[in-house]
Amino acid sequence: MTPPLLRWAAVLALLASPTLSSAGTEAQLTLRADQSGPVINRNIYGQFSEHLGHCIYGGIWVGPDSPIPNTRGYNNAVLEALRNLRVPILRWPGGCFADEYHWKDGIGPREKRPSMYNSHWGGVVEDNHFGTHEFLDLCEMLGIEPYVCVNVGSGSVQEAMEWVEYMTSDAESPMANLRRANGRDKPWRVRYIAVGNESWGCGGSMSPEFYADNFRRFNTFIKDYVPGPENRIYRVACGPDAFNYEWTETLMRTAGSQMDGLSLHYYTIPSGRWESKGSATEFGRDAYLSTLAQTLRMEELVSRHSAIMDKFDSKKRVGLAVDEWGIWTDVEPGTNPGFLYQQNSLRDALLAALNLHIFQAHADRVVMANIAQMVNVLQAMILTQGDKIVLTPTYHVFEMLKVHQGATSIPVELRTPDLASTRERIPAVSASASRDAAGHIHLSLVNTDPDGPVTVACTVVGAAPGSVTGRVLSAPSMTAHNTFDSPHVVEPRAFTGATASGNGLSVVLPAMSVVVLDL
């Protein structure tokens, strides 16, 4: 199988090519419909919901007594948007918050639950009205797989063991009976458990050796209460912070045989500096290209961490879970810095599509990804204001590309011009293809060029596309974004720029666009 364009080595070769030193107008694509790659795990399109800012309170959850239209306390408009997104998996309760969260404070009658101080995010006091029942009921209502992160940093092995029993056991046991006393007779189906979060940082400042010992200890007491391999808990170990390859080496060597997944966290910082990250909506061409160049380093990260994992796990039994990723900018002016509320532009939509293409290119190892975060925080799908919601450009990318969820990847070979700024050079075009259960071929394309269209000359090997339909997401400005006053500035529309002839396809991609085609 020919490696996809976005494999890091191919990118380096592309950038070194003297024949592609400036942006051109045509790319050549070969779509190998006569071959099949690995299945694209639908959990690559996962989401993340932390007790942070207004992600939970004022976002997903408004409470049953709220004047905002709700179903049992959940914001109806948010529910409708999430149903359309077909969210496959949702990570909760954090994030840094997970390692100071004690789950027994969030069960029982809401009016009797003790409040807690959120020391990580804004120094606010939370009433614990959104807890285990509320989260798992939300997932059940929307058909989402819950992904629960247990407290390793400040919690105990017993606390984690009892939480898993509370959620998943149907026995006549203390924790299962406590769940019944709190109104839930049958257990929930919770297959995914993360053993701590960022244990190298906010989750305990641990060394990789110390965390590996803790993982093995906690993992021993995370029990499978429901028989059958389909119900076995999938245990995700805390993986590295971005480029910390030593952490992956140590974890795989000392605990790889006991884990099912290893996490990876990487955020795209526009300026490259945590102390001043850059604006979400005010930037120029150089900053635009620099930001996309930084996000493309995800290819290097996935490739190199996967190579280390291959040394200890050649059969790829352990999956890579990129369970925090996305763009992190400065907060919107006038908002609480600890709430991480940022706007979301066309640039961020392109960034999201590029990352999803990278994950799909590595579908043999990447089994999950969770963008940060779902509502009102960082690169959000949805922004809320009272009873109003805004669907962001990133939301629309996830909705358009959801056709790849669970489909079989199709190899692509792509030769593309590159784009140059004063500091960076990136490929102009990115591509990913798959075949769904009904036999439909879907091809998603990204044109990162801010200055003009790019024509993609595509040869389809092993199939002749009789007809082509599609949608496009684009806007005249790279800073274009949706607001509560103007919520439809960036949204998908019908695409008519593709023409099929024999086994060929010509696609004219507008400047700064994401296109999804159905062949």
What amino acid positions are annotated as catalytic residues? Answer: 198, 324
Among the listed residues 283, 302, 408, 307, the one whose alpha carbon sits nearest the alpha carbon of residue 358 = 302
Buried b (16+ CB within 10 A) or exposed e, 52-91: bbbbbbbbbbbbeeeebebeebbbebbbebbeebbbbbbb
CA distance 100 to 221: 20
Contacts of 341 (CB under 8 A, 6+ apart): 53, 54, 331, 332, 335, 376, 377
Burial (CB count within 10 angstroms: exposed 0-12, middle 13-18, buried 19+), residue 142? middle
**In the numeric block, which tokens belong to residue 76?**
């109806």
Nearest CA to 375 out of 56, 45, 51 is that of 56
Task: Write a three-state SS string for 478-495.
Answer: CCCECCCCCCCCCCCEEC
Per the CB < 8 A criterion, the answer to whether 357 and 319 are in contact is: no
Task: Decide if 187 contacts 179 (C-beta within 8 A).
Answer: yes
Residue 203 to residue 101: CA distance in whole angstroms: 11
Contact (CB, 8 A) for 304 and 247: no
- Residue found under tokens 């006038």: 334
List C-alpha distances in Å: 467 to 188, 217, 305, 506, 516.
Answer: 44, 56, 40, 12, 14
Which H helix or E strand runs over 370?
A: strand 366-371
Instruction: Point out which residues pair with 148 in neighbouring strands.
Output: 92, 193
- 3-class DSSP state of 149: strand
